[in-house]
Structure 1
Amino acid sequence: MKKQKYLFKKLKAIEVKKGKTISQLLKEMEKTGFQGRKLGEVVEVFEKMIRDKNTTIFFGFAGSMSTTGQWKLVKWLMEKRYIDVLVPTGANISEDIQDTLHGYYQGHWLVNDEELWKLKIFRYYDVFTDGRKYRKMTELIKKFALSLKENYPYSTREFCWLFGKFLAERKIDSLLATAYKKKVYVFCPALVDSEYGVALILAIRKHKKHIILDQTKDFYEITLIGEKSKKTGAVFIGGGVPKDFIQMVAAEKGVIKGETLDYPHHYAIQITTDSPQWGGLSGATFEEAISWGKEARKGKNVQCYCDATIALPLICHALAERVDFERKPPAFLKNLFDEPA
């Protein structure tokens, strides 16, 4: 056995140089080790995904990242069409609205939470927001819900499209308003696990208006995008339901096509703080996903174990320096669905 099998790619130490760009720094980090190396590789793969004209890009946005201001980074990615399909948590597409309308405040994680409750201040680790104003955001969602048709099964794509239109018409800066204007499809499979659920319950209890969300229709529509795509790429910020929903697009395509391994995501990157040994999907490795046909055996797959509030700003600014052009989405997406009424 020859040493050259292992000792062929030499590590290169980072040197401090004045005027170095974020893109240059991440290029240098890519030549180091540990998670710094992985973060550099994530940017490299994301750039390749963007430049690949045959790839449909799915973007999973988990957790409660909008409370920390991360939503404007995702907004920029949609404006550049570096996202074709956004799969967020309900929190991330409601708490951005709270930021626009009422704002968040830097706080502390060691605080009297009982006192906060009495003052109606809600806490997200070290971020505070006014709870009474938060409920005004809930009322805004309810107002929109009351404009919808009863006895019609909406997919969350239809719901989010219409709400994005509602927000855009009122000039409320948000992810859904941006998605509507840029024609990015948004699916939120756990929509009611957020303030949307509260708003829809209020619509029933106070106004006798029952809005139907059809999860099967949701899955049918997003898998239709997967089936019609020449290639797919997946970006996961966190894990959770958004990650698995996007992973299931590849798994379903394989089942429909006859249980082959020929339809996985060609690209996959993830920023996560979850680890695989607990058996959960959020921390599941891409190597494990290969066994399900979700990732390609020879695909460009990179996972970086890092706080997303550190990684995502660096990734987006590096991309702005490397590929600052508006991407053309795959042509088939343009008229795939009729605009909901």
Structure 2
Amino acid sequence: MSTGANIVDQDFFEALGYRHYVGDPFADDEVLRQQRIDRIYDTYIDEDQLRVCDMTIAEIAENLEKRPYSSREFIEQMAVYLERRGNYGQSVVQAAYQHQVPIFVPAFSDCSAGFGLVHHQWNSPESHLSIDSVRDFRELTQCKLASNYTGLVMIGGGVPKNFAQDTVVAAEMLGFETSMHKYTIQVTVADERDGALSGSTLKEAHSWGKVDKATEQMVFSEATVAFPLIAGYAYHKGNWRDRQPHHLAELFTKPQPKVVTV
């Protein structure tokens, strides 16, 4: 689960050969605008290059069957595009595709991809593809059902957080017997007192039947400080060495499980 900014504006953008540059948060934004430089706090990105990224998404859409797609399906096609152009750089989109790891971006249009898809639909009003967020939710629920137990590690919050947590409730609504997420970690600087989703606690999520409060941990920290420590601990502990990859993307080439009547 991710955001469009991470997957498209950052990863896919750089896989196309473009870069982000160290900038100045106190720069004159009018000067930057005139020079077609977009600022993301202290990072710069070339607007003209970003337009190429937009139109690459439009090109991918124009060459696919015109129907609703989950974000996972479309992101796989982005990886196929990179493979065809001989891209062998460090791309999350491409690596996930090669290892059959599905990526979901429930708010897919809230990024450079949105501009490309708007262009595609505007110029093909009678026959175009669309991104189906309900299909995202259904496919995520399939991932939950296919696992003996699940855990969540969340960096930030927002829409990806809610979709991931809600798979438990969705599975129960469909008539399946399932368990709450066995463990959950969230790294965030958001505060629960403003009522927003990103800062809602995992303890609160237990009341909805989403996560087990016995093994949840809120980490109130800037992500680039906390997450490397967590990832380093998990890597050096070494339990991953005896685990087999799940290849969850293969789920979507198989029949869906039948609903159990309760």
TM-score exceeds 0.5: yes
TM-score (normalised: structure 2):
0.86
Q: Does 1:88 align with 2:2?
A: yes
Name the CA distance, whole Å, in 2 between partners of 1:246 and 1:217. Answer: 14
Tell me the distance in 2 between the aligned counterparts of 1:286 and 1:161.
31
Deviation (angstroms), 1:136: 1.4
Which residue among 164, 172, 175 is the counterpart of 2:92?
A: 175
Unaligned runs of 5+ in 2: 255-262
Q: Tell me how far apart the structure 2 counterparts of residues 92 and 142 of structure 1 sit (CA, whole Å).
A: 18
How much has 1:157 moved relative to structure 2? 1.6
SS in 2 for 1:329: coil
Q: Compute the RMSD of aligned alpha carbons.
A: 2.2
**Residue matched to 2:260:** none
Task: Give runs of aligned pairs for residues 163-312 of structure 1, distance below 5 A.
Answer: 163-170=78-85, 171=87, 173=89, 174-206=91-123, 208=125, 210-257=128-175, 263-298=179-214, 300-312=215-227
What is the alpha-carbon distance in structure 2 between the residues aligned to residue 207 and residue 120 of structure 1? 28
Unaligned runs of 5+ in 1: 1-86
Counterpart AA for 1:302: Q
Following TM superposition, where does structure 1 have runs of at least 4 consecutive aligned residues deviating by more than 6 angstroms? none
Q: TM-score, normalised by structure 1?
A: 0.67
Partners of 2:48 and 2:252 in 1: how far apart?
A: 38
Shift of 1:251: 2.0
Percentage identity across paired residues of the two chains: 34
Q: What corresponds to 1:126 in structure 2?
A: 42
Give the aligned partner of residue 51 of structure 2: 135
Partner of 1:117: 33
Residue 191 of structure 1 contacts residue 197 of structure 1 at CA under 8 Å; is this kept in 2? Answer: yes
| Letter of the structure 1 residue corresponding to residue 192 of structure 2 | P
Pair 1:172–1:121, CA change in 2 (3 A): farther
Query: 2:202 touches 2:213 (CA, 8 Å); kept in 1?
Result: no
Whose Rg is larger? 1
Q: Residues of 2 paired with 1:253 and 1:119: CA distance?
A: 50
Equivalent position amino acid for 1:153 in 2: P
Structure 1 distance, partners of 2:82, 2:23, is 29
